[in-house]
Chain A
């Protein structure tokens, strides 16, 4: 029951460049979340965007949501080696559950 799908599956950039990853989903949602996972660790929540918001910022992160296209993007500006991780979008499935995508693996080269 996959809902969100991230694109690309993997991304490799130089330190200082911007990284953009996308999430597409199938059904109407009232919010969408992005999480980060460092290798071999648990996921960490980054940002939640509601369906009535088009854009949201948190530090070097910028998230957009286009409900008409059923898609969201996560932009990391001025990337650092420490941003190397997998990034997942999560969309609601029922009242409290979320479905996570398969993730984008980001590698930032120093």
Chain B
């Protein structure tokens, strides 16, 4: 079974703090994604990575950065957390080929509150 692990289920941070959200997948997938999910807005893509050290902006990259130094790990960084970044953050991975090509496997999510 594919496993995508997010480092924290719940996180509470203060405004202005630097926040790291970590995601690790164990299936050697090339693609990794970070989404945020807000009521009524669905999932919105923040950043996407298709290879180590490669990244691509999604629909809402402002206020975020990412790091992918190893294939299995994709980190989301909030440089200076703000209250409007309070949200559920979901990490996903997908392979580029094979029978499960383009199927995304999600972590359990991190609910972040910025006070």
Tell whether, in the assembled complex, residue A33 and residue B103 are in contact, meaning their CB atoms are under 8 Å apart: yes
Number of interface residues of B (CB under 8 A): 27
Q: Looking at A40, A90, A96, which has the most chain B CB atoms within 10 Å of its CB?
A: A96
Considering only CB atoms, which chain B residue lies closest to A99 in the complex? B45
Binds B, one of A41-49, A57-65, A68-76: A41-49
Q: Choose one: A42, A48, A96, A100; the contact of B42 (CB below 8 Å).
A: A100
Question: How far is A102 from B103 in the complex, measured between Cα atoms in Å?
Answer: 18
Please name all residues of chain A whose beta carbon is closer than 8 Å to the beta carbon of B94 when the two chains form the complex: 96
**For the complex, is B64 an interface residue (Cβ under 8 Å from A)?**
no
Contact B102 A98 (CB under 8 A): yes
The docked-state distance in angstroms from the alpha carbon of A35 to that of B106 is 10
Q: Is the interface of B mostly helix, strand, loop or mixed?
A: strand
Tell which of A33, A40, A98 has the most Cβ of chain B within 10 Å: A98
Q: Which residue of B lies closest to A31 (CB)?
A: B102
With A42-B106, A96-B96 already in contact, the answer to whether A102 and B42 are too (CB < 8 A) is yes
Contact of B43 among A31, A41, A96, A100 (CB under 8 A): A100
Which chain B residue has the least Cβ–Cβ distance from A98? B104
Complex contact A102–B109 (CB within 8 A): no
Partner of A103, one of B42, B96, B102: B42
Write the residues of chain A forming the contact surface with B, with a CB cutoff of 8 angstroms.
1-2, 31, 33, 35, 40-45, 48, 88, 90, 92, 96-103
Q: Which 9 A-B pairs have the closest CB atoms?
A: A42-B106, A102-B42, A100-B43, A43-B106, A96-B31, A45-B103, A42-B108, A42-B107, A42-B109
